[in-house]
């Protein structure tokens, strides 16, 4: 599934109609969550049927396309199933009980309720919300795909305007020559990552660089009277600052992950739990700024695209174990050089990267290029986890 995003241009009346459609989608989702809370044994089909009940009782809900209402119900059901799955897995802490959404920013249409122009530069929404014909502008060319390949159309509101996303049902695969290289990656805060070859990539620290501008924008918001137009303008400027930083992080992660995957046949990295790491309040901001998980997601995605192996290994003792003899050498976080009794002296992060690579190779069994199914979902299932064979991972 490919997602192409285009900037949307329209009149103020049309943009107001988009806001109305987004609020209606939020209402449908929250109503489905309330039904699940109040009525025992409520299933997915019950939520789909409840959309028709909402349309009959509320005229503004009837104005939204029927499939858009069903898509909102599917969003509610996805949050419910996530909660059930977390309970079955027995994860510690909060299980993610479904919450009511307070600030929805998108509405999703399926295969009806919209019509794309022949020149692929305009899209018309045909429901009763009155959105009408909108101009779309982007760098992608939709002429390469048929209309029936577009399974979802999503209108998204951001700080700098409105966007239209097209979810296209196509499997992306690219064939490149095997490089014969294997690599282990140890992510960090001082350097973004250090690989098993000793190469260090600088941490861009986008949030730290733009923090001065963010604080100034936040002060301007605080000075304005709540509910005033000037406060709304100041909040919009602050939102644009945050949006720029998030886009910088994503661009950095995508380009770096693509470069790493294209240059190596096997990539091993730590199976980190970022949720637990950010509990350290001294390092939480720097960890979130590094966006390690986003980098991992794109590593796994490009691993599927280019048919490369990505291995998530157990991070326990990767920074303490010696890559030469295997002995555990206790080190504090401030100790940046690994010194072992066997005579091994090297940078701490490089030693950890070598340990990660050795664990990844022991998990896979041998190096090489494997054809993975690119239709897998994003997340842990797209990588080979430590302790499971590659065949078992692919067959699952």
- Which among 175, 185, 179 is positioned nearest to 349, based on CA atoms? 185
- Distance (Å, rounded) from C-alpha 56 to C-alpha 37? 21
Do residues 347 and 266 lie in contact, with contact meaning Cβ atoms separated by under 8 Å? no
Residue 289: active-site member = no
Q: Which of 127, 300, 321, 349 is catalytic?
A: 349
Place of tokens 């992608």: 140
Q: Which of 127, 186, 289, 300 is catalytic?
A: 186
Alpha helices for the chain (secondary structure H) = 12-38, 44-57, 59-63, 66-89, 206-223, 229-263, 274-277, 284-290, 292-305, 348-364, 390-395
- Distance (Å, rounded) from C-alpha 112 to C-alpha 118? 17
Strand-pair category, 114-116 with 150-158: unpaired
Q: Sheet holding 114-116: strands in order across?
A: 106-109, 150-158, 161-168, 2-9, 132-137, 122-125, 114-116
DSSP label of 225: P
CA dihedral 365, 368, 369, 373 (to 10 degrees): -10
Residue 186: active-site member = yes
Q: Which of 265, 270, 300, 321 is catalytic?
A: 270
**In Å, what is the CA distance from 331 to each residue of 187, 228, 262?**
17, 54, 34
- Distance (Å, rounded) from C-alpha 138 to C-alpha 161? 14
Alpha helices for 126-228 (secondary structure H) = 206-223
Task: Name residue 264's beta-bridge partners.
Answer: none
Backbone angles phi, psi at 45, to 5 degrees: -65, -35
Residue 270: active-site member = yes
Neighbours of 260 (CB within 10 A): 23
Residue 68 CA, chain-centre distance (Å), reads 23
338 Cβ contact partners less than 8 Å away, ≥ 6 residues apart: 322, 329, 331, 344, 345, 346, 347, 348, 351
- Distance (Å, rounded) from C-alpha 277 to C-alpha 291? 12
- Active-site annotation, residues: 186, 270, 349
């Amino acid at each position: 599934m490919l997602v192409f995003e285009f900037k949307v241009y329209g009149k103020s009346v049309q943009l107001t109609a988009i806001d109305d459609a987004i609020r209606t989608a939020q209402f449908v989702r929250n109503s489905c969550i309330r039904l699940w809370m109040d009525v025992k044994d409520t299933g997915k089909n019950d939520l789909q049927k409840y959309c028709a009940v909402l349309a009959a009782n509320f005229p503004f809900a009837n104005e939204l396309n029927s499939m858009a209402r069903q898509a909102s119900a599917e969003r509610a059901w996805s949050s419910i199933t996530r909660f059930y799955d977390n309970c079955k897995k027995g994860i510690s802490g909060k299980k993610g009980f479904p919450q009511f959404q307070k600030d929805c920013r998108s509405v999703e249409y399926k295969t009806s309720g919209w019509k794309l122009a022949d020149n692929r530069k305009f899209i018309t929404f045909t429901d009763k919300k009155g959105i009408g014909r909108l101009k779309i502008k982007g760098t992608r060319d939709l002429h390469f795909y048929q209309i029936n390949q577009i399974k979802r159309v999503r209108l998204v509101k951001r700080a700098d305007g409105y966007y239209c996303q097209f979810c296209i049902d196509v499997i992306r695969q690219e064939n490149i020559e095997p490089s014969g290289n294997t690599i282990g990656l140890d992510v960090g805060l001082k350097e973004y990552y250090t690989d098993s070859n000793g190469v260090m990539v600088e941490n861009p620290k986008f949030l730290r660089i733009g923090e001065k501008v963010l604080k100034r924008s936040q002060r301007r918001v605080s000075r304005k009277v709540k509910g005033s137009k000037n406060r709304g303008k100041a909040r919009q400027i602050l939102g644009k600052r945050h949006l720029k930083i998030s886009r910088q992080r994503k661009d950095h992660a995508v380009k770096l992950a693509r470069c790493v995957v294209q240059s190596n046949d096997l990539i091993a990295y730590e199976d980190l739990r970022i949720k637990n790491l950010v509990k350290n309040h001294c390092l939480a901001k720097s960890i979130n700024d590094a966006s390690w998980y986003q980098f991992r997601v794109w590593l796994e995605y490009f691993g599927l695209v280019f048919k490369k192996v990505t291995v998530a290994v157990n991070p326990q003792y990767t920074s303490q174990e010696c890559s030469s003899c295997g002995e555990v050498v206790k080190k504090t976080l401030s100790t940046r050089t690994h010194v072992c009794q066997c005579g091994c002296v090297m940078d701490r992060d490089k030693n950890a990267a070598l340990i990660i690579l050795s664990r990844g190779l022991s998990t896979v069994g041998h190096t090489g290029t494997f054809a993975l199914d690119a239709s897998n979902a994003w997340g842990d299932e797209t990588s080979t986890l430590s302790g499971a064979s590659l065949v078992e991972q692919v067959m699952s």
